[in-house]
Amino acid sequence: MEEMGSKPIAQEDIKAQVEKLNQVIENTDEKRKKRKAYEIESCFGDIKHNMGFRRLHLRGLQKVKAEITIVSMAHNLRKRHRQQAKQAV
């Protein structure tokens, strides 16, 4: 296996580079997961605490999906309203 002119690349060098790349990928994945978890938890916390929605009132998968959709839409509308109010000031 030869690259970079006529110098052969040692197998250990390739393994070391692969290790470094794997570490970089793991670090970025961990950061992404942490950020995503924080963003999701803040939405649920806002819905539970500020909107007072703590339990589902309907039964059945379709009804639960509809109820969660309505609560999510209300959350998004509330959030959008606050953004527009800030821009108006």
Per-domain residue ranges of the chain: 7-54, 56-89
Question: Residue 12: what pLDDT?
Answer: 76
CB of 2 closer than 8 Å to CB of 9: yes
Q: Note down pLDDT in tens along the chain; length 89 residues.
A: 445 556 667 777 788 888 888 887 777 777 777 776 666 678 888 888 888 998 999 999 999 999 999 999 999 999 999 999 988 87
Question: Residue 3: what pLDDT?
Answer: 53
First to last CA, the chain: 65
Question: Residue 70: what pLDDT?
Answer: 94
- Write down the pTM of the prediction: 0.53
Distance, in Å, from the CA atom of 71 to the CA atom of 54, rounded to the nearest integer, reads 11
